[in-house]
């Protein structure tokens, strides 16, 4: 009897793969052994786009590497195993292939060698200095972090903090129009990142765009926990986060209903909060929210994309015992740098080895880029909160099951969320596959619209209309499966923001004169936006 971890590959398919490899190998060698060949053919990979790679001495090993990498990935797909095991094999092979590129080593990278000669060795010295700095940080630097400062040239939309507790600051933004919609908009960003991904620069800020459309916008700014908050739980994040924020925004605005938006994990927390409010009897005839927007959000964790390779019972138990407060151990923190490194290695060539080569081997200083600055400005998570999230949502997928979990002392049923919902997915999202975002639709109780944007998890969301980039798909028939929905969808050029803005206006109430003051008597301004919490480093 084979060992339960034994892996099997169909011999017929393996023979076919070997035949294909032999044929392509022969064709490759033939191309590089043409009489009088002085310049190698283009390799079609940007890692080998430099002039030095046109030399056959360097190009042939690179071409062989690309050939071997392709076939290793194809072989990983041939393994006869369950989907999770096959995905883990594919992920491991991808990491090995990415790390073994000839571009990653001085001895096999002609561009690095040329740079070394031109600088008389200074490039290598600078690269070693960059490496030592990054070793101290525990991560590969992707941008010049000194070029940015939160509140100075990122997160600059004008506003004020009007409420704070242990876990959040609530920011209210200054109106940019003479009149505003009666119902405000509350934005709940992910707690695993800083909120200013939605407010990087004025020209690509979703927050500023919503303010310009006449909405009074409030945003949750999550605290970056230290060890004094290591005991915080999922219930704390739901209760002290969106549940409290909804109450405060309703109080400040004087409106019984508001509009809410959740992004990524923020959307998951928001949905859980709305289900808690429903279970407490605050929905029924009069929901506290007039509409719900969920951007690249998981409610059904059946397919969690590449992240699934990290989640199984042994891993969850390990986290529970080390940072979750299990086995009598004190709770700890899931460090932001570990989360950031994990997400970077989901795209190893783009977010890891590209910077290793440019910074360590060529000695170039990282260039300023606001998105990558945000990407490296990580946040910690309390161990108990992270472990609960990992077990009950990622591992056991209980959020979608009515009454399967309790949050804030009440059973959670997403079907009790009866407000109209705008659900958005990104077509190339590797963190929240768009088909998984689509699975949120049948879990919600109100009217629903699904919109699919081009690009990935961040670029698909942050796509301002003024840039006239990308496109989005819309199909109002949401009672079909994801593939049928896409087959019947119409592609529209440009940003989904305009579609969402028109949809949101239907639930935002009439226009009234904009208030000049922040907060109210009960919630006086505490400090100017972006506030202290977002500036704390992990």
Decide: helix, strand or coil at residue 502.
helix
380 in a structural domain: no
Tell whether 318 is covered by a domain: no
Give the tokens for residue 153. Answer: 């040239």
Is the confidence at residue 43, as pLDDT, over 60? yes
Same domain? 399 vs 514: yes
Q: What is the pLDDT of residue 284?
A: 47
- Both 174 and 294 in one domain: the answer is yes
Residue 356 in any domain: the answer is no
Check whether 413 has a pLDDT greater than 80: yes
**What is the mean predicted confidence (pLDDT) over 498-526?**
97
The last residue of one of the domains, among 55, 88, 118, is 118
Per-residue pLDDT averaged across 169-197, rounded? 97
pLDDT for residue 4: 46
Catalytic residues: 264
For 31, the domain range is 8-118
Q: Is the pLDDT of residue 282 over 60?
A: no
Contact between 473 and 486 under an 8 Å Cβ cutoff? The reply is: yes
Output the pLDDT for position 164: 98
Question: Has residue 202 been placed in a domain?
Answer: yes
- % of residues, the chain, pLDDT over 90: 88
> What average pLDDT is seen over the chain?
94
Strand-by-strand arrangement of the 421-426 sheet: 490-493, 471-474, 448-453, 421-426, 289-295, 258-263, 185-188, 217-222, 168-173, 159-164, 527-528
Q: Is there a single domain that holds both residue 107 and residue 166?
A: no
**pLDDT computed for residue 101 by the predictor:** 97
pLDDT of residue 242: 98
The pLDDT score that the predictor gives to residue 352 is 95
Contact 161, 527 (CB under 8 A): yes
Smallest CA-to-CA distance from 339 within 400, 265, 391, 398 is with 265
Q: Does 354 map to a domain?
A: no
Tell me which H or E stretch contains 248.
Answer: helix 244-253
Do 169 and 84 fall into the same domain?
A: no
In the block, tokens 């000194």 appear at 146
CA 245 remoteness from chain centre: 23
| Burial annotation 33-53 (CB, 10 A radius, 16+ → b, else e) | eeeeeeebeebebebbebebb
Element counts in the chain: helices (H) and strands (E): 18, 19
Q: Please say which residue of 53, 85, 118 terminates a domain.
A: 118
Q: What's the rounded Cα separation, in Å, for the pair 369 and 386?
A: 29
Q: Kindly report the pTM of this predicted structure.
A: 0.93
- For 251, other C-beta atoms within 10 Å of its C-beta total 14
Instruction: Report yes or no on 301 lying in a domain.
Output: yes
Q: Which of 69, 95, 118 is the last residue of a domain?
A: 118
Residues paired with 150 in a beta bridge: 154
What's the pLDDT band for 1 if we cut at 50, 70, 90?
very low
408: left (phi over 0), alpha (psi -120 to 50) or beta: left
Q: Which two tokens stand for residue 407?
A: 């949050």
Query: Are residues 190 and 51 part of one domain?
Result: no
Q: Round to whole Å and give the CA distance between 263 and 458.
A: 10
Pairwise CA distance, residues 294 & 271, whole Å:
9
From the list 510, 445, 461, the residue with the least C-alpha distance to 292 is 445
On whether residue 40 sits in a domain, the answer given is yes
φ and ψ at residue 65, rounded to 5 degrees: -60, -45
Residues 290 and 167 in one domain: yes
Distant-in-sequence, close-in-space partners of 17: CB < 8 Å, separation ≥ 6: 71, 74, 75, 78
Q: Is the residue at 149 inside a domain? A: no
CATH number for position 267: 3.40.50.1820
- Do residue 26 and residue 108 come from a single domain? yes
Residues 249-260, mean pLDDT to the nearest whole number: 97
Same structural domain, 400 and 490: yes
Total tally of structural domains belonging to the chain: 2
Q: Is residue 236 within 8 Å of 198, Cβ to Cβ?
A: no
Are the beta carbons of 77 and 93 closer than 8 angstroms? no
């Amino acid at each position: 009897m084979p060992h339960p971890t034994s892996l099997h590959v169909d011999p017929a398919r393996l023979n076919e793969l070997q035949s294909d490899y032999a044929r392509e190998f022969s064709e490759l060698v033939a191309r590089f052994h043409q009489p009088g060949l002085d310049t190698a053919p283009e390799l079609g990979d940007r890692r080998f786009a430099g002039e030095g790679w046109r030399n056959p001495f360097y190009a042939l090993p690179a071409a062989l590497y690309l050939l071997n990498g392709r076939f290793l990935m194809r072989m990983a797909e041939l393994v006869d195993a369950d989907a999770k095991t096959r995905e883990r094999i594919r992920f491991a092979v991808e990491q090995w292939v990415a790390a073994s590129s000839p571009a990653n080593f001085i001895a096999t990278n002609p561009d690095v060698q040329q740079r070394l000669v031109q600088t008389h060795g200074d490039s290598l010295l600078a690269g070693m200095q960059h490496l030592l700095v990054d070793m101290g940080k525990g991560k590969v630097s992707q941008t010049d972090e000194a070029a940015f400062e939160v509140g100075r040239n990122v997160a600059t939309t004008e506003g004020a903090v009007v409420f704070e507790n242990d876990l959040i600051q609530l920011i209210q933004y200054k109106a940019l129009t003479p009149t505003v919609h009666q119902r405000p908009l509350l934005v709940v960003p992910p707690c695993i990142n800083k909120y200013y991904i939605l407010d990087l620069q004025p020209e690509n800020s979703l927050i500023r765009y919503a303010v310009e459309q006449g909405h009074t916008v409030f945003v949750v700014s999550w605290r970056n926990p230290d060890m004094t908050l290591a005991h915080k739980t999922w219930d704390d994040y739901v209760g002290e986060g969106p549940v409290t924020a909804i109450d405060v925004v309703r109080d400040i605005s004087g409106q019984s209903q508001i509009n809410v938006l959740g992004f990524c994990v923020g959307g998951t927390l928001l949905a859980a909060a709305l289900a808690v409010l429903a279970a407490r009897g605050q929905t029924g005839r009069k929901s506290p929210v007039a509409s719900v927007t969920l951007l690249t959000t998981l409610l059904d964790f059946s397919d969690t994309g590449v992240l699934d390779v990290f989640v199984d019972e042994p891993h969850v138990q390990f986290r529970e015992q080390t940072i979750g407060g299990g086995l009598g151990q004190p709770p700890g923190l899931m460090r932001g740098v570990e989360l950031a490194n994990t997400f970077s290695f989901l795209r190893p060539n783009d977010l890891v080895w590209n910077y290793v080569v440019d910074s360590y081997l060529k000695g170039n200083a990282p260039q300023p880029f606001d998105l990558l600055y945000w990407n490296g400005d990580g946040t910690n998570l309390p161990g108990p909160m992270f472990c609960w999230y990992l077990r009950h949502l990622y591992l056991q997928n209980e959020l979608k099951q009515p009454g399967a979990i309790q949050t804030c002392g009440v059973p959670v049923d997403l079907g009790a969320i009866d407000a109209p919902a705008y659900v958005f997915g990104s077509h190339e999202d590797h963190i929240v596959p768009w088909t998984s975002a689509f699975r949120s639709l049948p879990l919600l109780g109100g009217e629903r619209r699904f919109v699919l944007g081009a690009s990935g998890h961040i670029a698909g969301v942050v796509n301002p209309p003024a840039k006239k980039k990308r496109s989005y798909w819309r199909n109002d028939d949401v009672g079909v499966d994801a593939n049928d929905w896409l087959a019947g969808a119409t592609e529209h050029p440009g940003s989904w923001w305009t579609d969402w803005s028109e949809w949101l206006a239907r639930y935002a109430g009439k226009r009234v004169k904009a208030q000049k003051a922040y907060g109210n008597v009960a919630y006086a301004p505490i400090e100017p936006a972006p506030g202290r919490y977002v500036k704390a480093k992990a």
